[in-house]
Amino acid sequence: MSKKINEKLVIFALGGVGEIGKNMYVVQYGNDIVVVDSGLKFPEEEMLGIDIVIPDITYLLDNRDKVRAILITHGHEDHIGGLPYVLRQLNVPIYATRLTMGLIESKLKEANLLGDTKRHIITAESELPLGVIKATFFKTNHSIPDCVGVCLETPEGNVVHTGDFKFDQTPVNGHFADLHRMAEIGTKGVLMLLSDSTNAERPGFTGSERSVGIELESIFSKAKQRVVVATFASNIHRVQQVIDAAEATNRKVTVIGRSMVNVVSIASELGYLRIPEGMLIEPEEVNRMASDRVVILSTGSQGEPMSALTRMARATHRKVDIMPGDTVIIAATPIPGNEKYVGRTVDELFRLGAHVIYGPGSVSGVHVSGHGSQEELKLMLNLMKPKYFMPIHGEYRMLKLHSNLAEDVGVLKEDIFIVDNGETVEIVNGIARKAGRVQAGNVLIDGLGVGDVGNIVLRDRKLLSQDGILVVVVTLSKQEGKVLSGPDIISRGFVYVRESEGLLDEANRIVTTTLNKLMSENVNEWASLKTHVKDALGRFLYEQTKRRPMILPIIMEV
C-alpha cells in the first residue's frame, strides 16, 4: 500500500482501557479511520441513578468524513451496546459476523435505526479495503460464537486486535480458534498487538466450555425434580449445552427472561443453536409436566433485582414457582460488585427449599470464563510476535499484569504501551511513541438523557443519598424588617418529622433568629440571607446529629 509523506499511524482507545466495558478502539492512518467495537458499560456505584455509560465520541464526530467503518468483534454488550447511541450521531458502515449482526439488528430495530444503518456481514475470510487500510479477520474462542480478531494492514505495518478470546481446545461447536491463521499473521509480522487483558490476573489456562456440559448432564440426571439453570443469555455455547444435557436426560426446556428469550430466538433462527423438534415448551406448560422432565433456562445469574431468577427466588414470578427439592444452577461468576445480589438470591432459593449449585467455577463445575488466562495470553503473544504491544480490555492492574506477561515472553519494556482512554500512540517509520490525547471519557445515560447528567448533578445525588435535604420556606416583610411567616421546614431523607419535633422546632427558632438579626442589621441581599441561614442551620444540625443534609432556603419577600 502506498505510504504518503507526513502520514502516520495513530492508535488509541475511546473506551476499554482502565475499565471493563465500553470497548471502542480507533486505528487511523492519514485520512482513514477504522473503529473496532462500540460497547457500553454499566455504571459504577458512585454514578447514582445512571442507567448505562458509553464512550465520548467527539473525536469521531470531529473527523466524521474519515471514519470508514466500525468493525465488531463479537456480540456482547460491552462491544455492541453503544451502537444505537453512536450510529444516531455517526452513520457509518458496520461490519460483523452473522450472529453478531443478528444481535446488533435486534438492538437497532428497537432504536428505530435499522433502516438507516449500512450493515455488512463478514466471515473470518473477509478482506475489507477501508481507504488505505485493509481489514482481515481470524476466528477466536469466547463465551459467544462467531467471534473474530481483526488484522488491520496499514502502510506502516499490521495492527492486530484480538477481540475477547480464550483458546478452547475442545470447543462446544467444533469451531476452533484459528491457530494457523494467527501463526501466519505472526509470520508476516505484527507491528502492534492489542490484546484482551480480562484474565491477566489468573494463572494457568481457562477451562474448556465442554467441561461445563459434562457437569450439567451429571446434575440433570441426578436431579429428582425440576432443574433451573441461570446463565448469561449471550453465552450461546452454554445454552446449547443446557439443551444437549436436557435431551440426554429426557427433559424439556422452557426459556424465561426477556434477554434469554430474545437471544435464543435469534441464535436458533440463524442456526447457531441446535434445538431438537419439540424440545422447547412454554413456561405455562411447566406445571403440567412431571417435575423430573423439566429444565428452566433463565436469566438472573447476576442476581439482578428484576430478573427472572430473582423473581422466582422471591416467589413473585408470574409463571414459575420454585418447589422444595428443585435444583437451581447458577452457571456464572458474579461480576465484581454483584456478589451481594447473587448471595441474596442464593439465600432466597435455599429458603424455598431448593438445592442450589453456585460459587466459583472451580468449585461448582458449572462455569468457566470466556477469557484466556495467563498462559493463553502468552500463547497469543507468542503466536503474534508483535514489535509493539498495547494491553487492552481491562482495569489498570490487568493491563499492567498483561504487560508483565509480554515482557516475560520477550517484548521489550519500552515497546509496551499502557494507555488511558484517549491517549494516543503514534507510529512513524517503525518508531512508536505516546503522542498526546484526544477527547475521551464517559457519557452518562439516564433515562432518555444522553450526557445531561454531569458531575454537579451526581454530586448532588450523592449528598442527597447520604443525609437527605431540608427545604426551609420563610416569608419576610421588607417594611417591618422581620420574619412574617414561617419558617416551614420540610425534610426528605434527613429525619422523620414526627419523631424529630424537638430538633426541628429548635431549627425553626435558629432560622428566625438569624434572619431577624440580619435584617435588623440591614442585611437584605437574598444571597447573603440564604448563605447565613444555610450556615447557621447546617452548624446546628451537625452539632446535634453529626449529619450534613443539603439545606435549601426559600425566602419570599412581601
Q: Give contact residues for its own copies (rule: CB under 8 A).
A: 18, 44-45, 48-49, 201, 203, 336-337, 339-340, 343, 346-348, 350-351, 356, 359, 363, 395-397, 400, 446-449, 452-454, 456-458, 460-469, 471, 473, 475, 490, 492-496, 499-500, 544-547, 550, 552, 554, 556, 558
Active site residue 326: no
Kindly list the distances between the CA atom of residue 551 and the CA atoms of 80, 251, 471, 489, 502, in Å, as whole numbers in the listed order: 43, 61, 6, 10, 18
Cβ 492 to its own copies shortest distance, Å: 5
Which residue, 21 or 145, has its beta carbon nearer to its own copies?
21
Which residue, 280 or 471, has its beta carbon nearer to its own copies?
471
Q: How many helices (H) and strands (E) does the chain have?
A: 16, 26
Sorted by sequence, the CB contacts under 8 Å of residue 426 that are 6+ apart come out as 8, 9, 10, 432, 433, 434, 435
Q: Where are the alpha helices (DSSP H) in 339-453?
A: 339-351, 361-364, 374-384, 396-408
Which residue, 536 or 550, has its beta carbon nearer to its own copies?
550
Which residue, 54 or 266, has its beta carbon nearer to its own copies?
54
User: Does 493 count as an annotated binding residue?
Assistant: no
Task: Report d(CA 103, CA 113) in Å as an integer.
Answer: 14
Task: Report d(CA 249, CA 223) in Å as an integer.
Answer: 10
User: Does 76 count as an annotated binding residue?
Assistant: yes
- The residue among 267, 66, 236, 281 whose CA lies nearest residue 144 is 236
Cβ 306 to its own copies shortest distance, Å: 14
User: Does 234 count as an annotated binding residue?
Assistant: yes
Cβ 526 to its own copies shortest distance, Å: 12
Query: Which is catalytic among the residues 37, 196, 326, 467?
Result: 196
Structural contact between residues 50 and 453, judged by C-beta atoms closer than 8 angstroms: yes
Active site residue 371: yes
Which residue, 286 or 495, has its beta carbon nearer to its own copies?
495
Provide the 3-class DSSP secondary structure of residue 217.
helix
Work out whether the CA dihedral 243, 245, 248, 250 comes out positive or negative: negative
Task: Report d(CA 484, CA 339) in Å as an integer.
Answer: 55
Beta partners for residue 120, in sequence order: 95
Cβ 23 to its own copies shortest distance, Å: 18
User: Does 402 count as an annotated binding residue?
Assistant: no
DSSP 516: H
User: Does 79 count as an annotated binding residue?
Assistant: yes
User: Does 164 count as an annotated binding residue?
Assistant: yes
- The residue among 425, 393, 377 whose CA lies nearest residue 159 is 425
Rg of the Cα trace of the chain?
29
Query: Which is catalytic among the residues 161, 237, 371, 402?
Result: 371
User: Does 142 count as an annotated binding residue?
Assistant: yes
Which residue, 78 or 348, has its beta carbon nearer to its own copies?
348
Cβ 51 to its own copies shortest distance, Å: 9
Binding residues: 49, 51, 74, 76, 78-79, 142, 164, 233-235, 367-371, 393, 446
- Report the catalytic residues: 196, 371
Binding residues for substrate: 233-235, 367-371
Binding residues for Zn(2+): 74, 76, 78-79, 142, 164, 393
Binding residues for Ca(2+): 49, 51, 446
